[in-house]
């Protein structure tokens, strides 16, 4: 028969059952309203596929349902319809489809089948069901009334009808019950339900009893503690509770009234929690964290610029720009009385003293110093803290550092800010924006602390190896100060005045026992270390001192003087081999200058020409940018070839191969553009390039030369290689003017704005 269909979620209507349910979905409401207007007949079936919004066919619903009658239909606010329905016969739906105004289905009436067995089998089922019902009533007193009615029944069919409508079968058992074709199947389903429900209720009762015993024990402990407190009070013994101690510490805390009020509110919650519970431990840890934070506790900073300058000069050699910027900060703060201002970010290669300069600044300003390492951190909770609802929640690194410092105005070093990451747990750089933005960090939000923290008094200094990996919004909040690599002369002074005394103390030696000759230090710097910083140099000095200490003990000597020969004896042959300038002018070989993470270096670019079909071949592990520079240079050379007497068709009949030695080392960047162009033109024209020449600059298709970076490191590399003439872009003239005479001494720096300027400087003049 055709009949309106209501699809229910998590509800099974059984025969002989009176039930209320609410309808929210439009198709079900339309079917109910249609049925109410037409004799009230309706087919009620449960939805099988939970993820589907509303099944549009017989797929996604149970095949078995109940044909019932709608007795009452009430419209409630919010578009909800409340239905009172009576279950009638069982039904099997063959198909379901949507009519103009409601869902309808082709439903087969199944009815209630008679018992499919003999009388003895029926009596056996009935007795088994009554025994199971009696056991169920013992563990569940709420079902006693229903079970009494069932025990008075003498017909199995009637027992099944009453039990299915009065007992809480649940969705799974109700669906199974509805699928049975005979009374024996229904009886078996009821037996299974009663057995499982009896065991479940038993376990529930046991758990409730255990919880009750635990609560009774806690209540007993609470009463006993109150009695103990009253006895102590009568005896005159003054032993304060934890809550009272916390309240006393709150009154003594250097914080605003608002913060104190919030802490006292949390202490009030803590005092009402029974001791020894997990909740009490969490609350205690939270209160202790709040009391340990330096809300308004400050250290007295130093305003003595003369003393600050002396400390900075004592601890570090060079770094004039950084020292000057720190002293500027100190002077401005003296007149404004505020700690705010730019956040400094020291950017430079490893080992150049970025972290140690921050310690010296803290010492110069008489500030507490705390360091936060951000390298590899990718969880936002590391900065903002965890929510207190999480197990093992902790405050973030910023709040922890403040607690460690003990004052609200420390110097906080954010180390390796360029090495932060982000994943599904959040973006570290976004969290740091609030920390480093002077407009936002007045009320920094830590998820664990929950009370806003004022970071405006903190002096932040960040360090990074490169600005390329720092997100732009974060970079915008900081003032970048470049910490460039050291010259060999600077390394010599650093080693002599700082590293040697430090390593002597570290290895238990004194200057009377181990001393270094100046030439030994220079050999050590030139032949055993190649880096922008001095970290590896310090390791080598420590290695020499340890070997000297061993020699003092083995050979019973009073002291050891480290000479050049001792350096060779202790460290073996030199490991740094400098590629010197060529002795003769050559065709197709040009020296370029490059910047690396450990300082400057020289690149010898070679070009050869051979018969072919006009191809340009590039080898030597060149990156994409470097390959594009080579192609741009090649295009420019072809455009001016006629001017240099290159025959027509030369580029169609010959191949050009450009190679940069040390092929296993990846190379990239645009600054070798003019070098590659000169090498190609030299190979094509047969003109020799000056051997005592190096160059750096980016080339365009029209032969313009663009500025480059890392000029200091590149000039140092040229100086080490024994090159006395360097070509640099004209737009880099201000960078050269800022360099110390120590770097440019002995080098003639030539400026070029176009390839025409370069070509006038690099070829050997014909005699």
**Residue-wise DSSP of 536-598:** HHHHHHHHHHHHHHHHHHHTT-S-EEE-HHHHHHHH-S------PPPSS-EESEEEEEEEETT
Two tokens, residue 319: 């770094």
Q: Which residue has the tokens 């040390």?
A: 662
Question: Could you tell me if 40 and 106 are in contact, meaning their C-beta atoms sit under 8 angstroms apart?
Answer: no
DSSP 8-state symbol, 641: G
Q: Which of 11, 292, 316 is nearest to 169 (CA)?
A: 11
Question: Cα separation of 16 and 623, whole Å?
Answer: 81
Q: Which residue has the tokens 């010197």?
A: 580
Contacts 24+ apart (CB under 8 A), 326-335: 326/361, 326/364, 329/459, 330/303, 330/305, 330/364, 330/365, 331/305, 333/301, 333/303, 334/303, 334/305
Q: Is the C-alpha dihedral spanning 161, 163, 167, 172 positive or negative?
A: negative
Question: Cα separation of 607 and 588, whole Å?
Answer: 5
- Tell me, yes or no, if 725 is annotated catalytic: no
Two tokens, residue 581: 């300038």
Residue in 629, 671, 682, 712 annotated catalytic? 671
- Using DSSP's 3-state secondary structure scheme, residue 96 falls into strand
DSSP 8-state symbol, 465: S
Two tokens, residue 73: 């239909």
Question: Cα separation of 131 and 113, whole Å?
Answer: 24
Question: What is the CB-side half-sphere exposure of residue 238 using CA atoms within 13 A?
Answer: 2
Q: Which of 284, 331, 281 is nearest to 305 (CA)?
A: 331
Question: Cα separation of 295 and 405, whole Å?
Answer: 12
Question: Could you tell me if 177 and 106 are in contact, meaning their C-beta atoms sit under 8 angstroms apart?
Answer: no
Question: Cα separation of 112 and 181, whole Å?
Answer: 8
Q: Is the C-alpha dihedral spanning 222, 226, 227, 228 positive or negative?
A: positive
Q: Which residue has the tokens 């429900």?
A: 197
- Tell me, yes or no, if 671 is annotated catalytic: yes
Q: Which residue has the tokens 């590293």?
A: 499
Q: Which of 219, 239, 243 is nearest to 231 (CA)?
A: 239
Q: Which residue has the tokens 């110390």?
A: 740
| Adjacent-strand bridge partners of 699 | 705
Residues counted in the chain: 767
Residues known to be catalytic:
671, 714
């Amino acid at each position: 028969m055709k009949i309106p269909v209501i699809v229910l979620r998590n509800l099974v209507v059984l025969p002989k059952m009176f039930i209320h349910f609410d309808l929210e979905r439009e198709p079900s409401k339309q079917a109910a309203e249609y049925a109410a207007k037409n004799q009230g007949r309706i087919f009620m079936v449960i939805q099988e596929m939970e993820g589907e919004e509303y099944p549009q066919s017989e797929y996604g619903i149970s095949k078995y349902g109940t044909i019932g009658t709608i007795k009452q239909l009430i419209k409630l606010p919010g578009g909800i319809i409340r239905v009172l329905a009576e279950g009638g016969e069982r039904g099997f739906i063959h198909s379901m489809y949507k009519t103009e105004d409601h869902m309808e289905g082709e439903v087969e009436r199944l009815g209630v089948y008679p018992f499919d067995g003999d009388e003895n089998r029926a009596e056996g089922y009935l007795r088994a069901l009554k025994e199971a019902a009696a056991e169920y009533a013992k563990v569940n007193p709420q079902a006693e009334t229903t079970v009494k009615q069932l025990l008075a029944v003498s017909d199995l069919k009637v027992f099944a009808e009453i039990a299915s409508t009065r007992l809480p079968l649940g969705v799974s058992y109700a669906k199974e019950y509805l699928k049975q074709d005979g009374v024996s199947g229904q009886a078996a389903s009821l037996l299974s339900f009663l057995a499982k429900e009896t065991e479940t209720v038993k376990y529930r009762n046991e758990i409730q009893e255990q919880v009750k015993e635990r609560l009774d024990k806690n209540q007993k402990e609470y009463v006993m503690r109150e009695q103990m407190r009253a006895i102590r009070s009568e005896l005159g013994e003054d032993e304060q509770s934890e809550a009272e101690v916390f309240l006393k510490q709150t009154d003594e805390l250097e914080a605003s009234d608002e913060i104190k009020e919030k802490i006292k509110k949390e202490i009030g919650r803590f005092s009402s929690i029974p001791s020894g519970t997990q909740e009490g431990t969490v609350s205690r840890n939270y209160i202790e964290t709040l009391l340990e934070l330096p809300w308004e506790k400050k250290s007295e900073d130093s305003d003595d610029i003369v003393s600050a300058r002396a400390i900075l000069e004592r601890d570090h050699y060079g770094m004039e720009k950084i020292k000057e910027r720190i002293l500027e900060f100190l002077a401005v703060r003296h007149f404004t009385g505020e700690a705010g201002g730019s956040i400094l970010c020291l950017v430079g290669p490893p080992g150049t003293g970025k972290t140690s300069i921050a310690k010296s600044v803290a010492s110069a300003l008489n500030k507490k110093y705390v360091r936060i390492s951000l390298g590899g951190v990718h969880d936002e909770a590391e900065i903002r803290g965890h929510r207190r609802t999480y197990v093992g929640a902790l405050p973030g690194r910023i709040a922890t550092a403040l607690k460690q410092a003990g004052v609200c105005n420390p110097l906080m070093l954010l180390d390796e800010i360029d090495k932060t990451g982000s994943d599904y747990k959040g973006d570290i750089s976004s969290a740091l924006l609030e920390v480093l933005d002077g407009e936002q960090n007045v009320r920094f939000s830590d998820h664990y602390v929950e009370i806003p923290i004022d970071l405006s008094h903190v002096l932040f200094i960040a360090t990074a190896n490169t600005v390329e990996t720092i997100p732009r919004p974060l970079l915008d909040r900081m003032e970048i100060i470049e910490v460039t690599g050291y010259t060999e002369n600077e390394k010599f002074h650093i080693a002599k005045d700082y590293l040697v005394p430090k390593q002597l103390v570290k290895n238990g030696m004194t200057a009377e026992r181990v001393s270094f000759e100046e030439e030994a230090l220079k050999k050590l710097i030139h032949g055993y270390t190649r880096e922008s910083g001095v970290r590896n140099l310090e390791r080598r000095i420590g290695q020499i001192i340890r070997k000297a200490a061993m020699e003092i003990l083995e050979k019973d000597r009073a002291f050891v003087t480290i000479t050049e020969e001792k350096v060779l004896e202790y460290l073996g042959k030199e490991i740094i081999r400098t590629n010197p300038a060529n002795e003769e002018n050559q065709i197709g070989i040009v020296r370029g200058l490059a910047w690396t993470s450990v300082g400057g270096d020289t690149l010898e670019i070679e070009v050869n020409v051979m018969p072919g079909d006009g191809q340009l071949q590039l080898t030597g592990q060149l990156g994409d940018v470097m390959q594009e520079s080579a192609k741009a240079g090649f295009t420019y050379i072809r455009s001016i070839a006629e001017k240099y007497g290159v025959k027509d068709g030369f580029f169609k009949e010959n191949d050009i191969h450009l190679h940069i030695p040390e092929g296993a080392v990846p190379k990239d960047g645009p600054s070798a553009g003019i070098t590659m162009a000169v090498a190609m033109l030299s190979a094509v024209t047969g003109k020799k390039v000056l051997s005592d020449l190096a160059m750096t600059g980016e080339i365009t298709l029209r032969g313009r030369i663009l500025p480059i970076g890392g000029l200091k490191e590149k000039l140092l590399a040229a100086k080490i290689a024994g090159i006395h003439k360097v070509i640099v872009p004209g737009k880099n003239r201000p960078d050269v003017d800022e360099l110390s005479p120590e770097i440019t001494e002995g080098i003639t720096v030539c400026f070029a704005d176009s390839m025409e300027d370069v070509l006038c400087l690099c070829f050997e003049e014909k005699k």
